[in-house]
């Protein structure tokens, strides 16, 4: 069952990170020069938060 949680967390992390990056670029008024690096930072933070949440909720 943990595999399902991890796959779902990956999908959620990707979608949330993409939305956050687009919102940040809209707020800033122009795209980031190193867009992939910013996306990676957002994705890492989101994934770590989701994995912590899964570990807390699932008790793994």
Determine the pLDDT at residue 51: 85
Instruction: Quote the percentage of the chain above a pLDDT of 90.
Output: 62
State both tokens at 41.
């930072």
Residue 42: per-residue pLDDT: 95
Three-state SS for 20-40 is: HHHHHHHHHCCCCCCHHHHHH
Residue numbers of the domain that contains 32:
2-58
Under 8 Å between Cβ of 57 and 20: no
Q: Specify the pTM.
A: 0.80
Task: Tell me the mean pLDDT in the region 8-26.
Answer: 93
Residue 31 pLDDT class (50, 70, 90 cuts):
very high
Mean pLDDT of 39-43: 95
Average pLDDT over residues 35-45: 95
Q: In the block, which residue shows the tokens 């990056």?
A: 21
* Contact in structure between 10 and 47 (CB atoms under 8 Å): yes
Structurally, the chain folds into a number of domains equal to 1
């Amino acid at each position: 069952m943990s595999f399902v949680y991890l796959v779902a967390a990956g999908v959620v992390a990707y979608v949330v990170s993409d939305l956050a990056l687009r919102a940040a670029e809209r707020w800033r008024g122009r795209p980031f020069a190193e867009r992939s690096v910013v996306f990676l930072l957002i994705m890492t933070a989101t994934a770590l938060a989701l994995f912590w949440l899964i570990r807390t909720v699932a008790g793994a």
